[in-house]
Structure 1
């Protein structure tokens, strides 16, 4: 069930500039990443995880460009910085061949599971998602009945799949940094959403944010 988004406050000029700037920035950055991953794939067509990872980022970042403007958003520098770094982290990955800890097919299958989780979560949200922490309406159906942030769970599974076939110190550090920022992002998002009584009731019903028994 989605709470009606009425009486949406107007953005200030500075907020509008950030809103437009972030969305415009995604296009060349995502295009650059896709071009680099496709180039690496052409050099070694056995590296299917590159294509799956590129598709996952297009799905994540590309669709966020068309998300509706929320009625309430966290504009604080920490939230903004954590969100931008956690969103565009893929540019820091080393996409040249690394160490394959598991067979490429197994890693790609794990990535596909992560992408399917993301798609299910985004289908449940419709256009109620975006890059910055915001209240776009409280969604409590679909995968949101199991954990409070299934989309992030999909991201995590996809990242693990990519790392398993493209392991290296740099990529490991990127994943650790990325998920430190994602935890900050989740916490900040919930601080904002908890202003909504519907979300507070939802938190009482669904205990875990990401992984049952852990977080």
Structure 2
């Protein structure tokens, strides 16, 4: 029952965020003036919307947890880290230098595209709080243990660059702190739930892929 209530609340929240992002896209598309910069900005919004929709889908269809982190801190860290990030996604961009907007939008597109890739592989194992559902070690998870957090950091950098206000910077710093706590909490749960996780962790970096791993990915079998 607790998992069902949590899933329903998450679904509602992400659906609202996706609706707000859709509304912002509609307003942008109705603007009669058009340019490459505006097209890239809309593409960034499309990528963000795709990520939010995929979060809703994976939240609805997720597997029951095998193990859940105990205590209030893991739950608070997960909720604050997640909600703060998604709230920033839904915030409309402010006017700044056109060159800065272009770079920020390109970074955001890359980040969200990578997030969608990670979430697609994570699939029904996705969760907000520190829970173990199924150990995923393929796709982006063969490069690093927490690729979704790494890609969300790329998105966060793009959002802060696009909205360089003190409030956005402060929220971004808070997000980073709580995302680090989420990683620590998830590591504990995964090690406890899956005996094979230790071997996986020894062979796979936590956030940044090794040069040898990237070389093997680009040039399979090369030495």
**TM-score relative to the length of structure 2:** 0.74
- SS of the aligned residue for 1:147 comes to coil
Counterpart-to-counterpart distance in 1, 2:201 and 2:18: 37
Cα shift readout 1:103-124 (whole Å, capped 9, x = no counterpart): 3332222112112222222232
The Cα shift of 1:49 comes to 7.1
Q: Does 1:70 align with 2:68?
A: no
Native 8 Å contact 1:48 1:105 kept in 2: no
Structure 1 residues 170 and 99: alpha-carbon distance in aligned structure 2, compared to 1, 3 A threshold: farther
Q: Which residue of 2 aligns with 1:107?
A: 104
The alignment of Structure 1 onto Structure 2 pairs a total of residues equal to: 199
List gaps (5 residues or longer) in structure 1.
1-12
Paired residues of 2:58 and 2:123 also in contact (CA < 8 A)? no
Which segment drifts farther, 184-193 or 37-46? 37-46
Aligned partner of 2:187 among 178, 187, 190? 190
Q: Runs (4+) of structure 1 moved beyond 6 Å?
A: none
Instruction: Judge conservation of contact 2:147–2:207 (CA < 8 Å) in 1.
Output: yes
Aligned counterpart, 1:8 = none
What CA distance in whole angstroms lies between the structure 1 residues aligned with 2:116 and 2:142?
16
Post-superposition offset of 1:164: 1.5
Q: Which runs of 5+ in 2 are unaligned?
A: 211-223
On the 8 A contact 2:51/2:112 being kept in 1, the answer is no
- List aligned pairs for 1:46-195, cutoff 5 A: 46=38, 47-48=41-42, 51-52=45-46, 54-55=48-49, 57-59=51-53, 61-66=55-60, 67-89=62-84, 90-91=86-87, 94-100=91-97, 102-195=99-192
Task: Report if aligned partners of 2:10, 2:59 keep a CA contact under 8 Å in 1.
Answer: yes
Give the superposed CA RMSD.
2.8
Q: Is the 8 A contact 1:79 1:188 kept in 2?
A: yes
- Alpha-carbon deviation of 1:178? 0.7
Mapped contact 1:138–1:198 kept (Cα < 8 A): no
Tell me, in whole angstroms, the C-alpha distance in 2 between the residues paired with 1:100 and 1:92. 20
Larger CA deviation: 166-175 vs 121-130: 121-130
Summarize deviations over 1:177-204 as a string: whole Å, max 9, x none.
Answer: 0111111111101111011211111111
Q: Indicate the structure with greater helix content.
A: 2
**What is the TM-score when the length of structure 1 is the normalising length?**
0.77
* CA positional deviation for 1:64: 3.8
Residue pair 1:193, 1:199 contacting (<8 A) in 2 also: yes
